[in-house]
Chains A and B, each alone.
Chain A
Amino acid sequence: MAVILGLESSCDETAAALVDSDRTIIAHKLAGQEEHHRPYGGVVPEIAARAHAEKMTPLVESVFADAGMTLADVDAIAATAGPGLIGGVMVGLVTGKALALATGKPLIAVNHLEGHALSPRLVDADLGFPYLLLLVSGGHCQILRVDGVGRYARLATTIDDAAGEAFDKTAKLLGLGFPGGPAVEAAARQGDSAAVPLPRPLAGSKEPHFSFAGLKSAVLRASDSGQYAPQDIAASFQQAVVDCLRDRLNHALDRTDRLPALVVAGGVAANGAVRAMLQDVAAQRDMRFVAPPLWLCTDNAAMIGWAGAERFAAGLTDPLDIPARPRWPLDDQAPPVRGAGVKG
């Protein structure tokens, strides 16, 4: 059994965790835990590298104290090396490199998206490869076929906005406050999802991708028209997102070999309507549906530690001069997407 220290600082969260290869989350912490209900991300962006730097060392000390362990008990150190805001990424990565250098333990540079992609396996020992992953967060909206550690085929991505971003911006337009996802979901419960005619961008399209920019513009027009209650706009918007996700998932599933499991990760997985739709799609296709607990869907270091454990077990470690990467696609063989002027 291997114990891995995981470090995450690629966007808004500073986080550290200790996990082991037997799927035990020994300790995990986010900086500013009083703000722990931020399922869609992006409320108070902690973009400042300095703030990440101030928080990282105390966090690492704190997870070791919680675990009753020391650096000597760790087998490898995993740190997010991208994608993300370069200053933030460097804080976690350089901390990881320094600890690796000081202890002589291996460094594992983790792609943040791989952290999300493998996180369901941390909590579900029965989830084997391959599986279909819907990764839906504030910064990403992708469908990936996960064939193994380091083996990803991107089947679809957003050509403009991410789904979580559409939730946040809709919440802002409707004056619902933040975090946007839970605010829209709460308002939607009071509204009629058929009240406002909204587009389903790219639904039914031959190409596989997502688009949410046009939906955002339509929400703005509906809101500006003064004809609709915010609750009805929220409910209709949420239904439009759910319909788009369902359509695109079915498009992907129709074109891949039968996969045993449908898996969701990312903050939008916290949305009840999205989860219900995913359960339904999985049931129709006789697939298992796997969703990690909500705290593991949003940014955290346990998923980085787990991705580190998976890579370590596969013999994948990295040299200490590995650079931080602001852009780092999981599948760099994916064909480029022509997003220009795409209409429903």
Chain B
Amino acid sequence: MTGPVTMSIASVADMLTFGRQLAAQIRRGDMIALSGNLGSGKTVLARGVLEGLGHQGEVSSPSYALVHPYDPPHVRLPISHVDLYRLDDPAALIELGLDEARTYGALMVEWPERGGPGFVADALHITIEPEGPDARRLTVAVPRSWETRWPPR
């Protein structure tokens, strides 16, 4: 696939639906990177993905704890919901154990920019921008590993 693709999301409900569609395609080793300003809907999309993987219950923000792991049997695949918002130094990334988490599950990372250059290189990288109170425009960089899985439906 050449260049990023764009798509429009009309509502919170649509964003959750898109998250569930993504969830159906997620495999071990995947990283989904979610960029966008505060309040753009990153955590809503993350909630859709987690629900699609089978999680029931709240999806609270991982901003404070940085990493919220979700493990089977509550989800069909181990996934870590990560928020690098508070990370000042990419050198500290190694302490979060993300490489290890990715060897047995998937990662979903908010504020991936804080991970430093190259962090999103092989990620499905979704950038969310507001187009209205609830409408959002998504710009998606689809890596080779997702080409046969894109678009999710």
Contacts and interface: CB of A to CB of B under 8 A. Distances in A.
Contacts of A326: 65, 67-69
B97 A160 contact: no
A213 B12 CA distance: 13
Contact of A158 (B13, B39, B58, B87): B58
Interface stretch (B88-96, B120-128, B139-147): B88-96
A220 B88 contact: no
A87 B16 contact: no
A53 B58 CA distance: 32
A337 B97 contact: no
Nearest to A326: B69
A159 B57 CA distance: 9
Contacts of B58: 157-160, 209, 336-337, 339
B47 A339 contact: yes
Given A86-B97, A217-B39, A341-B12, A139 B51 contact: no
Contact of B65 (A83, A213, A340): A83
B61 A87 contact: no
A159 B43 CA distance: 11
A339 B59 contact: yes
A11 B62 CA distance: 12
Given A42-B86, A336-B56, A336-B57, A162 B64 contact: yes
Interface residues of A, number: 44
Chain B binding surface, main DSSP class: loop
Contacts of B7: none
B147 to A, nearest CB: 30
Interface in A108-160: 137-139, 157-160
B66 interface: yes
B19 to A, nearest CB: 9
Interface in A306-344: 326-327, 336-341, 343
A49 to B, nearest CB: 5
Given A83-B65, A157-B58, 17 more contacts: A41-B64, A42-B86, A45-B86, A47-B87, A47-B92, A48-B95, A138-B63, A138-B64, A161-B43, A162-B64, A164-B64, A165-B64, A213-B61, A220-B37, A220-B39, A336-B57, A339-B59
Q: Which 5 pairs from chain A and chain B are nearest by CB?
A: A217-B39, A336-B57, A139-B64, A337-B58, A336-B56
27 contacts: A42-B86, A44-B88, A50-B95, A84-B65, A85-B67, A85-B96, A86-B69, A87-B96, A87-B97, A137-B64, A139-B64, A159-B58, A169-B38, A172-B38, A213-B43, A220-B38, A220-B39, A326-B65, A327-B69, A336-B56, A336-B58, A337-B58, A338-B56, A339-B47, A340-B47, A340-B51, A341-B44
